[in-house]
Structure 1
Amino acid sequence: MDEQTPPKEPLPIRRLQESLINRIAAGEIIHRPASALKELLENCLDAGATSIRVTVKDGGMKLLQIQDNGCGIRKADLPILAERFTTSKLSTFSDLSRITTYGFRGEALASMSHVAHLSVVTKTKTETCAWKAHYLDGVLVEPKPGQTADPKPCAGNDGTTIIIEDLFYNTPTRLSALRSASEEYSRILDVITKYAVHNPKVSFSCKKAGSPSPDLSTPSSSEIPQAIRLLYGHSIAKDLLHASFGPKNNTDGDEEMEEEKASDSWTAETHFTNANYQSKKMIFLLFINHRLVESSRMKRALEAVYSGVLPKGASPFIYLSLQINPPRRRRQHQIADTLQRSLASQSHSRVFEYQTLLTGGLAEPEQSTSKKRKGKERAQNEEDEEEPRPNAPKKTASQYKVRTSLQDRTLESMFPVANPSQIDGAAKGKSAAADTSKSREIKESECILTSVKRLRQNAIKGKHKQLSEILEKHTFVGIVDLNKCLSLIQHSTKLYLVNHGALAEELFYQLGLRQFGNFSRLKLQPPPSLRTLIEIAVELEETTEESGLTKPQIVDRIVETLVARRDMLAEYFSFNITPTGLVESLPLLLRDYTPNLDKLPSLLMRLGPQVDWNSEMECFESFLRELAYFYVPGPLCPSSSSNADLETEEEEKAQEKAERWQIQHIVFPSLRRYLAAPKSLLDRDVVQIASLPDLYKVFERC
């Protein structure tokens, strides 16, 4: 046997060098050029500046210069300006509870002096000249060899100019972590844009070094809506709503909140877009006590408000400014709830008003047409007949002629096809699908369970006669937006914009009820691990704090729940899970339709907390709802790399083509045959956008 290795000796603990400590501390404050600029902007605003000019070179890594016309810095304060823990804002510990400025000006400058070459030019109104000083590692240094480190007199205007050169020159690891110069410059512009909106009385400008004109420029003496219009565009400004509120809006009866009402501990002002505006990415400007901050919790709360207002995948613009009494900052978690109630009430009323004006909702049935209109239609038909005869067939006016042939063109047929064989393949596939659908009628299974019978009866009772007729006799026009799940269909002389995702979700739920206890199986080869799939979904969740459990505990609980009920899942839903925790098969709701299996981890995770396992009827209904949501044709996931190779792009195009084919040739024909459309779909998911008779009236006036 070999000799045993000697035990490892503990290493001695040493004090870090002061220069290393300062560089580590600087990294906590200065992450990139934009974060350095944020600190400097706040310094300028604290100094009472009304004009701020920013000059940038190489995205701020070579040069970041910011000039203001504020009160300036006294010459006597320049020697300690860049030292740590030097400030003009505090003198005693109690001042921390009453501070209303941005914070430690000296701390930010000290951090910059440790990771860049820092120089300052400043002049107060009482001094006859400006003073220039250079700093390195927090202390004054000579600008050139042989000169003294004392500040030098120079020409300059009232205010302060901070010059940062060669940022992170002595920390190559942090420098290499930065993005390209153009991306860093865009981050700088984003910071300046947000502060310019919040401070409309201050003039801002930003340009690249050597450029004759600025890339961003705002005037002073404007208001927040005007600043939003200038910086974010007319499309946002024209749809802005405004609200101001505070604790007085709270009506929960909480004693602590009543105390806040009396002391006016916080107020809020917000400008937010209505339901007419929608963007792919949410623009959220949050200022707390005039400081730009990020709050993922508040952002999610506001996104939840708009989730019931905007289409899927659409996002709003929100500017929110909070004024919070410093001792009350621990109460910030209640602000999100108050904001949510206020935004929801204004947004929902606005949505209803705009949808009524722009779309007119669903058309009324022909039987409800007024007598006056019927008289006009009769008169029109009589005018079109040159020689009316008692037994002659009645002539139909042009505006009431309906396209009824399913062989007519769809939206997709109007775009050029690179490979002509695709047309023949699509036509063959369509005819094959039609033949197959006739031979594969989905029959209702026999079931003696009272709960299932009641759910089936509820689906029939909730059927909206007119909407169901529209879907049963519609003509598919085309998919408008695959990511937003929007399609066009025609019924009679009217054109409808429908959310095919919402229609498909209700369809798959009813198909699940229809086949209860007699599902076909979608086999998974090889069968994946139940625990692994749930771990993937739980890991992607942003937070699990509300449950009071850790992520591993959540995974264990969901796995135990599903494995314990695997016999019931297999018997009623053909959802087979092995004793060892492998998922062998899923219920197949619709033949020839393949769900997106990328959503399988999310389905398994949601089956744990979202299904009511304690009541039979609620259990079956919630399980089938989750299964239907899994089957919905959702938006395609974008590629994670902007430089994707040709093979990946071709795969994405093929996947999108397959998705479109399934929606047109499987989902919509199944809607015609099996869906008992509920009235709830009329609220947002089926909207009339055109009527042929109304269009004729418009063109007659032109």
Structure 2
Amino acid sequence: MTAPRIRPLDEAVVNRIAAGEVVLAPSSALKELLENSIDAQATSIDVACKEGGLKLLQITDNGVGIAKDDLAIVCERFTTSKLRKFEDLQHIASYGFRGEALASISHIAHVSLVTKTRDSPCAWKCRYEAGRLDLRTPEPQPVAGTDGTTLVVEDLFYNFPSRLHSLRSPAEEYAKIVDIVSKYAIHATHVGFTCKKYGTAANDIALRSGMSQKERVRAIYGSAVASQLLELDVEPHTDYGLLKCTGLITNVNYDNKKSTPPIFFINGRLVSCDPLRRAIAQTYSTYLPKGHKPFVFLSLELDTVNVDVNVHPTKQEVRFLFEDEIVDHVTQKIAQILANTDVSRTFLTQQLLLGPKRAATEDVAISTPRKLRPLPSLGQYKRPSEHKLVRTDYSQPTLTTYLSQKTSVDSVDNPTSRTQRAKVRLKSIFELKEEVEQAADNNLTEVFSKLTFIGVVDSLKRLMCFQHDVKLYIADYGALCYELFYQIGLAGFSNFGCLRLSQPVSIAELLLESGLTDQKDQVLEIFVEMRDMLKEYFSIEIDDDAQNPKIATLPLLVKGYEPDLSKLGLFLYRSGTKLDWEDEKKCLGGLLQQLALLYVPAAADNDSKIGEVLETTICPLLKKRLIPHAGLARDVVEVANLPGLYRVFERC
């Protein structure tokens, strides 16, 4: 067999590959464009989005603009005004430098811009396709305009369907865009920012130029954060190349259990720095109650010679010398500030209400002596043998608390809950609940009630590892989640919250996208006929269009956790074709089972992301809500136990 010849890739393929590395989502495209606007000395930046930035992403700034002579090559790869030779990287002080952002975006979207420099008599408008001027308008067109640049990105990923379908809902993608604008707005105090959905009058972010960082935090994150902020100013350390470090951190009284990822800017660049994040989390763990998270914003200026900015296509990461020393220096200062402010704490208190009998006799000085319980003997505190010691406590935080970064964005537009629970009097539901209770397995119940999550073994096979007492288990978390969400659905029957989609979606289109059209008419007929029952019992709203019914809401089983909507078409198809809609018990039980399958996390190749969901959401629910039955024993396998390992080592 002849070995295949090596050939150079076609230029279009090279550019599409590069675009996939630089532009991961609408928010990453926005980040690149925001940095371009700030580099252009803008003092005002306006962002407008449509459908989470996928349909339209518009950025308007009042910067220096782009010269007419440069418009022909502005979207070609490696065209930049920031560098002339490689050595310039050692002293780079701008956000962008590689000249890949606009080029990459133009290969996966339709790009147009209107720009005007201060010395130009008019503005110039251009359209770009695949890095070059659109053949339909090969020359810039003169138009009216103000100083600065307006760049419009339309139909992002229109020629990249795999990336397009892997994105989250428009509401969640828009939330990521707001998050990016928020972070840059806190850092760039000399720039005014606005951000809104295209076509709406109200701005989700509106900050004027010159507002202080505290005022910006208050406007974006609320007074609960801003009122607890402390200013941080770390002494320079020139031996390590640390020239300046300032920021805002919350004090020890900040009451927040929702994790807010720390915001780090290094030499003006928004980056992630895991060593610094972990060190700060460890520092705060000494001062904050269990489960409480701080708000942290840091801006570090390092000697540019020590910083390598060219390590990530999206400039999300940087590398710098003396990393450990700088991290220690910064966290020591944070610990010192927290220690100085830890002289007083604020606690919520509740007045003790006395019963009528005690209140009437409160002034009487005579009290009846109570019989004291005898103290336990010292023998009860005898230290157990080494091979019986449990190394972890299921009630304490684990290492993954500090190794993963939680970025929880709520894509629920209007989650609702009932102020008064509806009473369920259906015999079928009582029977289904009784079946769950009667099938309970006491041994598995004990295991799950005190489990400690260890980590994901294989996210494609949906295997996780957890510990109970001195034993280590591997479990199929897909099977566990299915049973868990079925029981949660059974317990919340007819009292679900409401997960509203950003806009109603055609059931027929969902079936078509999933390739499930063989029984489409039957599915549509079922959901139209049963829409009243679905709304009352399951919070599933279907409109009354019999020809093209649309689904608007889904039941919210767990607050803060959303199902994978890529499985919505399969959920509708199986619910319409696999259930016995004539039998009440089979119908309701089967629909709860299909709902549980919808909520089960999909197999993925990102262990860290699913590990975070399992640790923060699924495992706490397994401990509190799951009633395991004996059938789950085949999905939970003991792989090691401490006494057994000791016996093995003794024989060695």
After superposition, where does 1:126-141 map in structure 2 within 5 Å?
A: 126-141=119-134
Letter of the 2:334 counterpart:
L
User: Quick check: 1:15 aligned with 2:13?
Assistant: no
After superposition, where does 1:60-71 map in structure 2 within 5 Å?
A: 60-71=53-64
Deviations 1:25-81 (A, max 9, x none): 111111000000000001111111111011101100110010000000000000110
Cα distance in 2 for partners of 1:399, 1:195 equals 65
Provide the aligned C-alpha RMSD in A: 4.2
Q: Secondary structure at the match of 1:80?
A: coil
Cα distance in 2 for partners of 1:128, 1:403 equals 96
**Aligned residue number for residue 266 of structure 1:** 243
Cα distance in 2 for partners of 1:33, 1:75 equals 27
Cα distance in 2 for partners of 1:26, 1:595 equals 45
- Within the candidate set 325, 338, 344, 1:353 is matched to 344
Pair 403,193 (structure 1): closer, same or farther in 2 beyond 3 Å: farther
User: Quick check: 1:334 aligned with 2:334?
Assistant: no
After superposition, where does 1:93-132 map in structure 2 within 5 Å?
A: 93-104=86-97, 106-132=99-125
**Aligned residue number for residue 318 of structure 1:** 296
Cα distance in 1 for partners of 2:482, 2:232 equals 39
Q: Is the 8 A contact 1:29 1:111 kept in 2?
A: yes
Cα distance in 2 for partners of 1:594, 1:125 equals 71
Q: Is the 8 A contact 2:50 2:198 kept in 1?
A: yes
Deviations 1:512-555 (A, max 9, x none): x4364699999xxxxxxx9xxxxxx9999959xxxxxxxxxxxx
**Aligned residue number for residue 301 of structure 1:** 279
- Within the candidate set 203, 222, 229, 1:233 is matched to 222
Pair 162,349 (structure 1): closer, same or farther in 2 beyond 3 Å: same
Deviations 1:306-328 (A, max 9, x none): 00111111100001001111112
Q: Secondary structure at the match of 1:278?
A: coil
User: Quick check: 1:92 aligned with 2:85?
Assistant: yes
Shift of 1:399: 9.5
Letter of the 1:168 counterpart:
F
Pair 9,125 (structure 1): closer, same or farther in 2 beyond 3 Å: same
**Aligned residue number for residue 624 of structure 2:** 656
Q: Is the 8 A contact 2:449 2:622 kept in 1?
A: no
After superposition, where does 1:17-32 map in structure 2 within 5 Å?
A: 17-32=10-25
Cα distance in 1 for partners of 2:452, 2:468 equals 12
Pair 540,298 (structure 1): closer, same or farther in 2 beyond 3 Å: closer
- What 5-or-longer segments of structure 1 have no aligned partner? 1-7, 249-256, 361-394, 407-436, 446-510, 523-529, 531-536, 544-591, 603-626, 632-636, 660-702
- What 5-or-longer segments of structure 2 have no aligned partner? 308-320, 350-359, 392-397, 405-444, 456-466, 472-476, 492-619, 628-652
Q: Secondary structure at the match of 1:192?
A: helix
User: Quick check: 1:175 aligned with 2:164?
Assistant: yes
Q: Secondary structure at the match of 1:59?
A: coil
Q: Is the 8 A contact 2:185 2:191 kept in 1?
A: yes
**Aligned residue number for residue 159 of structure 1:** 148
Q: Is the 8 A contact 2:252 2:338 kept in 1?
A: yes
- Within the candidate set 199, 208, 215, 1:210 is matched to 199
Pair 81,353 (structure 1): closer, same or farther in 2 beyond 3 Å: same
Letter of the 1:204 counterpart:
F
Shift of 1:92: 2.4
Q: Secondary structure at the match of 1:353?
A: coil
Q: Is the 8 A contact 1:116 1:167 kept in 2?
A: yes
**Aligned residue number for residue 290 of structure 1:** 268
Pair 107,601 (structure 1): closer, same or farther in 2 beyond 3 Å: closer
- Within the candidate set 379, 382, 385, 1:514 is matched to 382
Q: Is the 8 A contact 2:65 2:149 kept in 1?
A: yes
* Count of aligned positions: 413
User: Quick check: 1:599 aligned with 2:473?
Assistant: no
Pair 55,105 (structure 1): closer, same or farther in 2 beyond 3 Å: farther
Pair 278,141 (structure 1): closer, same or farther in 2 beyond 3 Å: same
**Aligned residue number for residue 200 of structure 1:** 189
Pair 126,598 (structure 1): closer, same or farther in 2 beyond 3 Å: same
Cα distance in 2 for partners of 1:541, 1:274 equals 19
Cα distance in 1 for partners of 2:364, 2:469 equals 40
- The TM-score with structure 1 as length reference comes to 0.53
Q: Secondary structure at the match of 2:177?
A: helix
Deviations 1:570-601 (A, max 9, x none): xxxxxxxxxxxxxxxxxxxxxx9979552286
Cα distance in 2 for partners of 1:235, 1:276 equals 11
Cα distance in 1 for partners of 2:469, 2:285 equals 16
Shift of 1:104: 2.5
- Within the candidate set 64, 67, 70, 1:77 is matched to 70
Q: Secondary structure at the match of 1:645?
A: helix
Shift of 1:90: 1.3
Pair 122,538 (structure 1): closer, same or farther in 2 beyond 3 Å: closer
Pair 640,51 (structure 1): closer, same or farther in 2 beyond 3 Å: farther
Shift of 1:443: 6.6
Shift of 1:398: 4.1
Cα distance in 2 for partners of 1:403, 1:26 equals 81
Larger Rg: 1
After superposition, where does 1:471-620 map in structure 2 within 5 Å?
A: 513-514=381-382, 516=384, 542=403, 596-599=449-452
Q: Is the 8 A contact 1:599 1:630 kept in 2?
A: no
Cα distance in 2 for partners of 1:265, 1:515 equals 49
Q: Is the 8 A contact 2:264 2:272 kept in 1?
A: yes
Q: Is the 8 A contact 1:201 1:223 kept in 2?
A: no
Q: Is the 8 A contact 1:443 1:515 kept in 2?
A: no
Shift of 1:105: 6.8
**Aligned residue number for residue 487 of structure 2:** 647
Shift of 1:403: 12
Q: Secondary structure at the match of 1:163?
A: strand
Greater helix fraction, Structure 1 or Structure 2: 1
User: Quick check: 1:51 aligned with 2:44?
Assistant: yes
Shift of 1:194: 0.7
Shift of 1:220: 1.5
Q: Is the 8 A contact 2:447 2:468 kept in 1?
A: no
Pair 83,335 (structure 1): closer, same or farther in 2 beyond 3 Å: same
Q: Secondary structure at the match of 1:305?
A: helix
**Aligned residue number for residue 234 of structure 2:** 245
Q: Is the 8 A contact 1:268 1:320 kept in 2?
A: yes
Cα distance in 1 for partners of 2:365, 2:448 equals 40
Pair 135,640 (structure 1): closer, same or farther in 2 beyond 3 Å: farther
Shift of 1:10: 2.7
Cα distance in 2 for partners of 1:403, 1:60 equals 72
Q: Is the 8 A contact 1:443 1:514 kept in 2?
A: no
Q: Is the 8 A contact 1:595 1:630 kept in 2?
A: no
Cα distance in 2 for partners of 1:282, 1:630 equals 34
Cα distance in 2 for partners of 1:60, 1:199 equals 22
User: Quick check: 1:34 aligned with 2:23?
Assistant: no
Cα distance in 2 for partners of 1:401, 1:72 equals 86
Cα distance in 2 for partners of 1:141, 1:269 equals 45
Cα distance in 2 for partners of 1:641, 1:194 equals 35
